[in-house]
Amino acid sequence: MNFVLSPRGAWRPALFALGLLAATAFAETAPVAAPTAILIRNARVFDGLGDALTDGLSVLVVGDKIAKISKDPIVPPEGAVVIDAQGRTLTPGFIDVHMHASAFLPGSISDHASPWQMGVYMAKSLEGFLQRGFTTVRDAGGADGSIADLIDKGYIAGPRLFPSGPALSQTGGHGDNRAPYSAHPYFGRSQELAMSRGLSWLVDGPDEVLRAARENLKNGATQIKILASGGVLSQFDPLHTVQFTPEEIRAAVAAASNWGTYVMAHAYNVKSVRQLLDNGVLQIMHGHLLDEDTIKLAAEKGAVIEFELVWQWSDEVHGKANGLSDVNLAKLHQIKAGMAGYLANLKKYHVLTGFGTDLVGNQEFQNKEFTLRAEYFPPAEVLRQATSQGYAIISLCGPLNKYGKFGTIEEGNQADILLINGDPLKDISILEKPETTLALIMKDGKIFKNLTGRVQ
């Protein structure tokens, strides 16, 4: 990952820029005047849990919730909008459990963006996620609660956002994105705690880990992200490196659990993942170099192992153009070599994975993840990963989830609903063209796109 450096406080003008963008973009992207009720008739429903579609269902949305699902005709309430789905597939809105709202451009470009540009780009990036069908995302390093707040208030048309704030990295770790041989932010030019307000803090020792984690929680993080092994897109840390000590990991876990939430950790190799599992971290991001015994151990502990395929594809195809070095590409190939066996073990031990993409730049390829996964998992499983599993993972933040239940089509849930032209259980690659495939996008009962042409 190529972290975007910006000094502490630089986000204030960026947020102002977001406000400016909202003022101009609102007319196009804001939900149509929210009706009190929307009735969708004649839909084939994938509920987020099952294996098949159920034909001929009606779904009534009242306010922001799914009020009723029925095979029998539902009489629309007075003044309701009625949409004839004409047999289209209705699914829950998709959930991406690993994305970075502030990493929308190849690093070499975003390194030079002004905070004003960053804010505007981020708003556009978030709108892109929503228009690809993602009504909920978990930011794995970057955005803080201020961005979630702007979305919740309707200034940005974006998915429901569960931010982590800047990820915690040790000196020389996956989040240490300084230029070669440059000064340390504490010992050199700056007294700031932050390595970067954009994507990572640089912290060493349990005290600094505690302070950074608490700062993130204060700023609206719903979980804490730590970087606990080498990574592909950093320059100085080989994939075999173990990052953070047990004491540092336990400090992050203590800070998170005091707020009723959890720690998610970037880690690839066996040694770092075992150290995480031994010290209270039960959400592993990537884990692509794990052996069978470690995956079995993770499964026994009820851990989540979240993986992604699309960034590997993107880096292979576009990495050179995006400025990836030979060091980065060598690490990419090290990971790709073992993917088939790794995924077979995740399946064998029924590990909860969710659906993550982790694209740093080229986010327009996000939905290719559906197609790439279908080489290893049945389409219904991929859709469960992107809906009900995503909710199961994200809702582990307990009391910090202020949005209720989502990710499945069930009465009482938040009304996050997609209408899809075609049957993704037969051909999931249709989701790669959301501009034509997604006929309706609804979040919290508000319509953000409607191509059905059947509104009465």
Binding site for Zn ion (CB under 5 A): 140, 358
Q: How far apart are CA 100 and CA 122, in angstroms?
A: 10
Tokens of 412: 């009482």
Q: By C-beta, is 264 or 409 nearer to Zn ion?
A: 264
Closest to Zn ion by CB, 100 or 454:
100
Measured from the CB of residue 358, what is the shortest distance to Zn ion in angstroms? Answer: 4
The Cα–Cα gap between 451 and 125 comes to 22
CB-CB contact of 47 with 59 (8 Å): no
The least CB distance from residue 356 to Zn ion, in Å, is 8
C-beta neighbour count of 191 within 10 angstroms: 8
- Tokens encoding 203: 């912290």
- Residue closer to Zn ion (CB basis): 134 or 155: 134
**Residue 421 CB contacts under 8 Å (≥ 6 apart), including other chains:** 88, 430, 436, 437, 438, 439
Return the number of the residue (74 or 304) whose C-beta is nearest Zn ion. 304
Provide the minimum distance between the beta carbon of 103 and Zn ion in the complex, in angstroms, as a whole number. Answer: 8
Least distance CB 446 / Zn ion (angstroms): 29
Nearer to Zn ion, 2 or 58 (CB): 2
- Residue 1 vs 69, nearer CB to Zn ion: 1
CB of 310 to Zn ion, least distance (A): 12
> Shortest distance, CB of residue 266 to Zn ion, whole angstroms?
6
Q: Which residues contact 181 (CB under 8 A, 6 or more apart)?
A: none
Shortest distance, CB of residue 361 to Zn ion, whole angstroms?
12
Indicate the residue among 138 and 160 with the shorter CB distance to Zn ion: 138
Listed in sequence order, the residues at least 6 apart from 230 whose beta carbon sits closer than 8 Å to its beta carbon are: 174, 237, 238, 239, 240, 241, 243, 268, 269, 331
Minimum separation from the CB atom of position 437 to Zn ion (A): 26
Rounded Cα–Cα distance for residues 366 and 229 (Å): 25
Contact by Cβ (8 Å): 115, 10: yes
Task: Please report, for residues 32, 87, 229, 298, 381, the alpha-carbon distance to residue 1 in angstroms, rounded to integers and kept in the order given.
Answer: 37, 42, 13, 25, 28
* Nearer to Zn ion (CB atom), residue 160 or residue 225: 225
Q: Which residue is nearest to Zn ion (CB)?
A: 358
